[in-house]
Amino acid sequence: MSDREPFQVRIKVRHYELDTLGHLNHAVYHSYGEVSRLELVEKAGGYGLEETGLGPVLLESHIRYRRELRGGDVVDVSCDTTFGEGKIFHMRSVITKVDGTVAAEIDCTLGLMDLRRRKLVDDPRGHFERAGMDLKILSTSE
């Protein structure tokens, strides 16, 4: 395991994202995770992946809510990728207030889809690497 910190993006909670109780709507937590995943893939060079006819697809998402967020709160949303065997990989995001309080943890299972065949491909890590993505940015375990 690397001693590097995972990629993260800073987001300010906007008032229109709040629910009737005055805290961040549950679906917006997932949106924040999506922002961190997309920005991580972009930073790692993921737009070269489109030329290969492949694209990442979300297969499952699980969130654990730890603390509420309110309008004006500022959070850092991390993202880190873990590769295993087969067709899937995992991305984990942690939403943390700037004071260090963990607000939510999001664990996602993803695959890499051949966009013509509409089927998942084996070895997403290898496909990312061949597409020129920087795996050291994508995953702290690289």
pLDDT in tens, 3-25: 678 999 999 999 999 999 999 99
Q: pLDDT tens digits, the chain, 142 residues: what are they?
A: 456 789 999 999 999 999 999 999 999 999 999 999 999 999 999 877 878 899 999 999 999 999 999 999 999 999 999 998 899 999 999 999 999 999 999 999 999 999 999 999 999 999 999 999 999 999 988 7
CA distances from 42 to 16, 17, 82 (A): 27, 25, 17
* Closest residue by Cα to residue 35 from 12, 59, 67, 3: 12
The per-type count for the chain, helices as H runs and strands as E runs, is: 3, 6
The owner of tokens 């795996």 is 135
What is residue 16's DSSP assignment? G
**Coil, helix or strand for 51?**
helix
The first and second tokens of residue 7, run together, are: 């990629």
- pTM for the full predicted model: 0.92
* Closest residue by Cα to residue 72 from 12, 120, 27: 12
